[in-house]
Structure 1
Amino acid sequence: IESGSGNDTIIGGKGNDVLYGSYGNDTYIWNLGDGMDTIFDNEGENVIQLGDGISLSDLTFSRDVNNLVIVVKGEENQGITIADYFVSSSRQKQTLKFIDGTSFNLDGAELTLVEFPQLTLNGDDDDNELIGGIGNDTINSGDGYNDITGGKGNDTLNGGYDNDTYYYNLGDGADVISDPRGRDQIVFGAGITADDVIYRREGSNLKLIIKGDEGQSISIDKFFSDSNYRIESVKFADGTVKNIATAGLTLTQSGASDNFSATSYNDVIYGHGGNDTINAGDGNDTLIGGTGNDTLNGGNGDDVYKWNLGDGFDTISDEQGQDKIVFGAGITAADLRFIRQSNDLRIIINNDENQGMRIVNQFYGSNRIEKIEFADGTEMMLTDTGMIFSQTNANDSVKGTDYDDVIYGNGGNDTINAGDGNDILIGGTGNDELTGGNGDDVYKWNLGDGFDTISDAQGQDKIVFGAGITAADLRFIRQSNDLRIIINNDENQGILISDQFYGSNRIEKIEFADGTSMMLTDAGMTFVQTEGAETINGTDYDDVIYGKGGNDMINAGDGNDTLIGGTGNDTLNGGYGRDTYIYNLGDGADVISEERGNDKIVFGAGIAFEDLTFSRNGTTLTITVKGDDAQSITIKDYYYNANNQVEKLEFADGSVFNLSTSGLTLHQKNGDETISGTSYDDVIYGYGGNDTINSGDGNDTLIGGTGNDTLNGGAGDDTYVWNLGDGIDTIIESGGNDKIVFGQGINQNNLSFVRIGSDLKIMIDGDEVKGIQISEQFGNNDKKVETLEFADGSTMDISAADQLVQAMSSFSLSNSASTDELSNPVQSVSEMYDNFACGSNFGSKAA
């Protein structure tokens, strides 16, 4: 009888009744012959009204676990059991009233408790009916088909090898059944339904607890350790039968830290409080660890793991099957944080490290959880889909899936291998190693994220910079095949892209927070290198490369490149394209190698054309700045092939000198050199040494300098400059109106002329090793030099000298054996000279 709330009067009448008083001040009426009733009432000031023929002296009190048993007139099947009397003081608020008007208050009363007799009943091998008493009895049924009733008290019931039936009623205490064989059944009496029974594993025993009262229970011995000891079924008063031997169980554990295994069927297991270890076994099981840090092993089968707010941090190990985690109310996908630790998946709830779960080997083999379900009906796949990992602030090593992952490294020096798929990698603070794998990957970097290293494979990949970073904040450095990106010129902030310039394992693009973007492939780059000596390779697009300090080698590749070697003696290879070489004061001695294109050298502030001197060495052209050999540019193979030339020189004042279509003033060294000019108007200084100067076509000026030089003017109106101390030079001409210009200290009177074969030799002050010999002056007209010019501005038509030499050659010489003399030489030469000079505008003397 369940009375509900209110001040109720409850009369059980005959039979062993179960009476629920609930709220209110209730009155229970009991008369002789009413059987053994059980009262459940934990609220109110209650009265037990005893009928006619019963006095306080007729009552015997005893304790049955937590229950108070009142036996009337010593008959164990007559009386009242007050459930959980010894558990709660509210259950003790009971007053016994008698028919004579007297009463006895049980609340706080000092009761004299007696022990009821403990019976031992032994059956035989026939079919027996054995009924225990009110005490803690032991019943041994023997074989046969037995009906066993333990009755009140905590009884031990030992069945036999045949099919036994165990009867249990409300208030019958905590019994233990041990039954080694047969198809056995527990039959519950009135007032006990399937919903009133919870199942718990204790050691190898299965315990059935009635209405949540540990004092009303049945423990089945060896249920989990020996299948022969199992009770096969439970039957209820309403006729329902539950198979418990070959079907899954709903196990509800205590609040302690339990360690147990379930069956191989479809079990439902509640761990409740404590740090439980639950091995569900095979079958499609449901595991609810409850509060505490539980270890949950689902085994094979389609298992369900339920988790609610406050359940602690659980560890899940699963095997085959389609398994899922079901989150309770108040938990959504947004509340979850996923962390990968080796092959395990860690799920953090509401960012509380003490709330969540770890799934062991989620990323190894097929022993994994496939899905998450939420209370609102939404779900999230954990397999065959990408994950969002948000790691710790330690140095994590994280692997993604082969799907589209998002991985946050957070703090620490992390190693992230995203795997295949279109992944997003956010290393966070610390110096991280980020590997995107195949797929279109995104690498996110924010101010303060440290220095990361990116290694990528196939795909269209990009770096996305956060707020406060623009293209102007980036500095690109090429290191072998790697690209180093420095942020705000801070060497500790940025990204190294491994093998950016090798194969297709590269990052294609950079995006900025303002929506702008920059291509890293199929576009030129601006490299700003370090102060050390480096070898830098550009792209085949339009690059700008700053070598900065050190003796660098810059290979710009094809494209219209700009090369700035910076300080140090740099080697600059422009490759194909219209290349620009920028040179500033103090930039050292650079070497340029060109291949093709209309190229130029741009000189910085403080360098004018007048500051440059040019020299040729073989096929190489060297431009020296301000006469300092340590500040120069050497253009390799400038004279070997037009493709190797730099065509123009530009200056800071805007002026331009066309190097490829203009003559040059070449200043050579003091050694013995062979120098060739251009087809334009060159000025060539041989300086010291016995030089050979081939000036080429054009109106050239050849200054052999000291030493015995050979000067080939080529076609054009050439000028040969000779100064005192210059040795004996040989001129070879090829046409044009040419002249010899004598320097200071030389006038017509210092010259003497001698014909040697077809050559004309002009000696200075009669010294045979000082002067000029003009090859073929008396031969082909193209070989002639036409004019002599002196420092005072006077000139001489060299043809007059030719005539003088011709006249002198007409004198007859004696054929004396000892001497060769002119006949009457002084008079004859003087007369000849005076007559010739008067008609030829010579000075006072010429020979």
Structure 2
Amino acid sequence: MANFSIISDEGFALDQFFPAPFPEVPDGESTSTRLVYTIGIRKVVVTGTGLNTGAGTISEIELVEADGTTVVAEFTGLNLAQFVFDDALANPAYTIRDIFDLFLVGDDAIFGNDNNNELVAGFGNDTIDGGEGFDDLIYLAESNLMNRPNGITVEFTSEGTGTVRANGLNEIDTFTGIEAVHGTQFDDHFIGHDGFQRFRGFGGNDTFDGGAGDDEVDYRNDARESGIGVDVDLSKVGADGFVTVSWFNGDVDKLKNIEFLRGTRHNDHLIGDSLNNRLRGDSGNDTLNGGLGSDTLDGGEGNDVMIGGIGGGFGEDLFEGSAGDDTIHGGKVGADDDPDANWNVLNYHNAAGFTGITVTFGATSRAGTVQKTGGGGGIDTFHAIDAVFGTDGADMFIGGSGASNQRFVGYAGDDVFDGTLGINEVDYRQEGRSTNLTSGLTIDLVAGEVTDVFGDTDTLIKIERVRGTDLADTIIGNELNNRLRGAGGDDTLSGGRGNDTLDGGDGNDVLVGGSNVGSGEEEDLFVGSAGNDTIHGGEIGADDNPDLNWNVLNYSNLGFTGIVVTFGSTARSGTVKKTGNGGGTDTFFAIDAVFGTDGADTFIGGSGAGNQRFIGYAGNDIFNGTLGINEVDYRADARAVGLQTGLTIDLTKGQVRDATGNLDTLIAIERIRGTDNADTIIGDGLNNRLRGENGNDTLSGGAGNDTLDGGTSVDVVAYAGSRLNYAVTTNGTDQVAIIDNRAGDGQDTVLGVEFFDFAEGRFTLDQLLASPTVQVTKSVTLDPGVVSVTASGKSNLNITGNALDNTIKGNVGKNTIKGGEGDDTISGGSGSDKLYGGVGRDIFVFDANKPSKSKNLDTIYDYKAADDAIWLDNKYMPKLGKGSEVNPGKLNKKFFMIGDKAKDQNDYLVYSKKTKTLYYDADGSGSKKAIEIFKFSKDVSKELKYTEFFIL
């Protein structure tokens, strides 16, 4: 059994052993048992017997260094006739691979080293160990002299380990430490396993099934090329579960569970699927389309077109820049794409030979050009790209005026970052990770120059955003709205002026907001992360409005399982104890609001003078406002989960089912901000401030001197008492002061509210500011400021409304009620009344007593179906459905008919054209008698429909 082993620690290629031309004769030091051939600075040493005769037998062949003793690689255990060796090296028809196959004809053992090796399996049942590194196992002979008669079946049984069966032959090779297998010119079958495997099929009808893990089919140098590239679409899966690849020569390959593709040296067309693909075009003018998923596209040399997929979810695409004039389309941005996380990246750092690039973003968002120098050069045009990685030369990055953010990574070289236009970020993380960095950087955006990790000088012009290294950085902001991130290390970040975001990352960081923070409308956001951090929100300016310019400390989306926030006796100061994800305890100063985690958080207000705001997000959170003035804000909570319905927040009960379905506990909380939907917010006995925000909200302050702010949309403020018990004033805008004269509801300030509910019903602002309900016992025409009137006593009265939208209720007498102008609501009371709506859209209400022809039958004299409506009380006509004065119910179409009597059991409401009377029939076509409700002065059968009726 022959063995082949690579001994040295260097990588090994086959032609190192037997380069062409091979020396015709050995050196002078050769003997009958040892022949030495010089090849460059190395030697090939042949060991055997009878070698001086030319007819000897070879047992061992070594490739050694110039010292003659250090072995690079060796064949051992040979039983090779000397003339076979001589003929193989002298015959130009034999390739390097043929020679290896010739020497390894039995059951051989082949050993690689820890570098990247190419190992050739000969005939026989071989055992191959590639060692560490990326190793190729080769079965393709480069001439027909040693070619196999059939294909092979390659099966990985685990990562790097498997077998190769020679089809049609009793030959099985076993391998370990192998990452790539090269097939034959025949029909090969490749089966992958977990991890990464690369397959090269060459000729024949090959089948590739990658199995689990990421697997690559590599068509480089494929013998079928002949100037024609390959067309592979991984998204087109046939009924058999395979992707079909047809070649010009009639060969058909089948691909399954393949994530990575590498094209030919010609013009290829490669299309990915929904997985995270890696597509490489190699040479030629290639077209690569990644499809969905987070893809890597590398066109190689040539003028290539690279197209990414949708960046939705956490997907992002990486495009490798190379020589040629390439066109790069990052793809569409999905609805859930986060431009701060899902960057489409254009990378020039891995490209060989470039001495520098000039990146210019344009006026169109995320689009521009890259001019490349050295390494074949060219100009690339890109679209939908968020970040560009530079070379190790002197690069120029120029931001554009588009709406999206732009990120730059410079690497080595004296780079210039010009952020005059747009929002631009310089990222030093990758730069720091690419070298053995021992200390962090000082990045001063005011000074505008940075000595980078390579010792080069970068110039930063009007840059808003910076990301530091994984070590201890000092980052200083300028007058712009900066976002400064420290990554790892014990960082010191100082925002300076502007509305800044400071994120220290892991480590014990110091975060400092700008001086005179509150000037204008400035505020800073501090991101809480692992470690024991110290946060200074900055000073408060004289014109600071603490209700607008909040300094926020945010712990959401950082992997913590919960926090305990404790404000102290000093205004706006306290501590945050974090659990999970590294934990730690932060100390903060001049902070107004704290955002929690998705776990169970506890927020404890302090006794300092400043107001404190809390946002809990998910989890069963506790908000303890026993000390200080505290607000719980549910806006961000609801937005984070896309809540489509509002919340019910009742401070008298002290528990709230939040937007995520968790149960929050609220203790002595004074202030609430609702969601963007229709919320119901109820105050308690404290002086509450309740804000509805967006949505049609209902607010009720309860006892205390409350501030009720409906926000946008159509909102309602609700009071339990009669309108008569409240004094109402206004400042001339939409702000209203409502004072409870009974000393129950306190003195409230109401703004942004369209409707006001009292015991009598709903009022508009105009109605509320008009005189309240008037009680009358005699006939009357309402004064101009009176909105509502209620008659009492038994007299037969004449009541006439005014130009406002009146609400008029009669007594038990036979009244004549006329609404006059306006949209009036008229209820005759218990007597048989005459009702006139007058001008406007009027409502006639039956709600006073049971229907009765003799005691309670009203007549409507001017009903107009186009304008008017009839409201019926469910209390007296339960079969009609349910509703209320606030939200009257619509009548079911089946319940109404026009005719002399009910035709079926659902005909509860019947209008008789003959008697011009509306009846209520409790059992429809049953035996019970229908009861009269309203008479009409004229026949309305042609205009009266079920849509005219509403149920109270």
TM-score range, shorter chain: under 0.3
Higher share of residues assigned strand: 1
Q: What TM-score comes out, normalization by structure 1 length?
A: 0.23
Rg larger for: 1
Q: What TM-score comes out, normalization by structure 2 length?
A: 0.21
